[in-house]
């Protein structure tokens, strides 16, 4: 029996188009799928508990030992709706901000926005954003994933709302890439590389169905989910996305969070 390739993903709505066909065995593949929070996924990949993982780009830039699956990313150009800051005051006036402890790339993006783009010095408080008291004692909070999407479309939101994807593109003119599939050293994907790309293409062809299914699971209206998957999230990894990752590494290096890179190490056999 052929050994399965352990593939780690996340349960966020934005990842579903990439893995739906694999999860439901709608095409031939040799993956064993594991779903965890983004931060745990990165650790599992680092510890070689999984072979390939949909990891935050910040983690990719820190490790630098992985190769990247071509043609696939989770990214945005302009508004993203799911990586937001809600604030009691203007973003430039924040003294304390709660951040989702599951996040790495998004927290690093927040630091870039506040410290580099806006020259704001603030205190970051790592919290479980899913708890009701996440705003206690702080001026604002960053929300990501499905939690951010819900907050973005809340009808009675009393807070000011800032979209970090929109701010990034306004400041840089580039897409922001949140996650990519990273492959551990020594892993041979073979025909499973094509299966990953086919799975993405399959998922992009049934976004309406995915939006309907996931809306019921996460409690967000289908129309919001569909708008998010079609208008906000992008799934390619092309020239502009690569430029965005390189720019991200440049700004992270200013924060001493990663070394600046000049190119990406794309997986090939």
* Highest mean pLDDT: which range of 9-13, 111-115, 215-219: 111-115
CA dist., res. 162 & res. 231, Å (int): 18
pTM: 0.94
Find the mean pLDDT for residues 113-125.
95
CA angle 90–95–120, rounded 5-degree value: 70
| Per-residue tokens: 216 | 């019921």
Find the mean pLDDT for residues 23-35.
95
Find the mean pLDDT for residues 53-69.
90
CA dist., res. 49 & res. 227, Å (int): 35
Residue 1 has pLDDT above 60, yes or no: no
* Residues shown for the chain: 269
CA dist., res. 169 & res. 195, Å (int): 31
CA dist., res. 88 & res. 99, Å (int): 15
Backbone angles phi, psi at 100, to 5 degrees: -70, 120
Find the mean pLDDT for residues 172-199.
96
Q: Are 129 and 100 in contact (CB under 8 A)?
A: yes
Residue 182 has pLDDT above 70, yes or no: yes
Find the mean pLDDT for residues 98-110.
82
CA dist., res. 113 & res. 168, Å (int): 7
CA angle 68–73–76, rounded 5-degree value: 145
| pLDDT > 70 in the chain, percent | 98
Residue 39 has pLDDT above 80, yes or no: no
Find the mean pLDDT for residues 259-264.
91
CA dist., res. 119 & res. 117, Å (int): 6
CA angle 210–214–215, rounded 5-degree value: 115
Residue 70 has pLDDT above 60, yes or no: yes
Find the mean pLDDT for residues 244-269.
93
Structural domains of the chain in order of their starting residue, each with its CATH number = 5-75+177-254 (3.40.190.10), 83-172 (3.40.190.10)
């Amino acid at each position: 029996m052929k050994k399965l390739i352990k593939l780690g993903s996340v349960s966020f709505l934005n990842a579903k188009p990439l893995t739906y066909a694999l999860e439901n065995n709608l095409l031939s593949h040799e993956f064993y799928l594991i779903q965890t929070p983004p931060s745990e996924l990165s650790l599992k990949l680092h510890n070689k508990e999984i072979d390939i993982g949909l990891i935050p780009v910040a983690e990719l830039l820190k490790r630098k030992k992985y190769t990247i699956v071509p043609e696939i990313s989770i990214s945005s150009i302009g508004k993203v709706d799911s990586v937001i800051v809600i604030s009691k005051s203007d973003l430039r006036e924040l003294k304390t901000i709660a951040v989702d402890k599951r996040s790495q790339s998004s927290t690093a993006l927040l630091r870039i926005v506040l410290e580099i783009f806006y020259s704001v010095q603030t205190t970051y408080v790592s919290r479980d954003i899913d708890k009701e008291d996440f705003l206690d004692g702080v001026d604002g909070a960053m929300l990501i994933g499905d939690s951010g999407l819900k907050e973005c479309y809340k009808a009675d939101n009393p807070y000011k709302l800032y979209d970090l994807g929109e701010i990034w593109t306004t400041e840089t003119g580039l897409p922001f890439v949140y996650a990519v599939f990273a492959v551990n050293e020594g892993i041979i994907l073979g025909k499973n590389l094509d299966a990953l790309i086919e799975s993405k293409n399959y998922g992009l062809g049934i976004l309406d169905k995915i939006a309907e299914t996931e809306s019921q699971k996460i409690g967000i209206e289908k129309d919001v989910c569909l708008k998010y998957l079609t208008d906000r999230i992008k799934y390619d990894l092309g020239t502009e996305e690569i430029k965005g990752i390189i720019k991200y590494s440049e700004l992270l290096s200013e924060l001493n969070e990663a070394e600046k890179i000049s190119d990406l190490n794309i997986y090939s056999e």
